[in-house]
Structure 1
Amino acid sequence: MFGTKYIMSKGLSFAEYEEMQMLSEYASRGWKLEKFAFMGYKLKKAEPEKLQYALDYRINPDEEYFSYFNEAGWTNVCSIGNIIHIFSAPEGTKKFILIMILK
């Protein structure tokens, strides 16, 4: 239990950038995002790490979607409802825009 922390979300619809910055700050203090929790996030104790977080919305993504992020240096940390996806990468990893044409 001592290796777990729950923090409240301000709401991704209202504070997406702030939320990702907040998660980065927690990671630098040794609390990394594990998954979405009710009205917030569940963090786990870890070694402090300089991470940046990014959020993407994609309904029912396939493996190709996640492979684009992986190839660019981003790791899928968690997803909720198979729609909202949070990725992390070491600080300094370039952000990119993923544009996929819907078939």
Structure 2
Amino acid sequence: MPDRPEIVCLCGSTRFAEEMRAVNRDLTLAGAIVVAPAEPDGLVTEEQKAALGALHLRKIDPADRVLVVNPGGYVGESTRREIAHAHATGKPVSFTHPG
């Protein structure tokens, strides 16, 4: 038995917020610690967007693995950057919708 629950970092476009919430719920109920992107209300400045993007890369660091939430196989620019960071840090990456 592991010393602690698995830590899973969710990545994906914020347009899939509902799908991410569902995956977060399912993983949490299965006993995982889930780290997910921020869901800011309203408009986000470019400066805030850049800061949130950098913060999300740091959220990947303590994770055991990354799960990309990508309905329809969609993976945007920010998510591609997160996947590259995960690979560079040796994290396994899987997808909800393999393409």
TM-score normalised to structure 1 length: 0.28
Greater RCO structure (CA 8 Å; 6+ sep): 2
More helix as a share of residues: 2
Name the one with the larger strand percent.
Answer: 1
Q: TM-score, normalised by structure 2?
A: 0.29
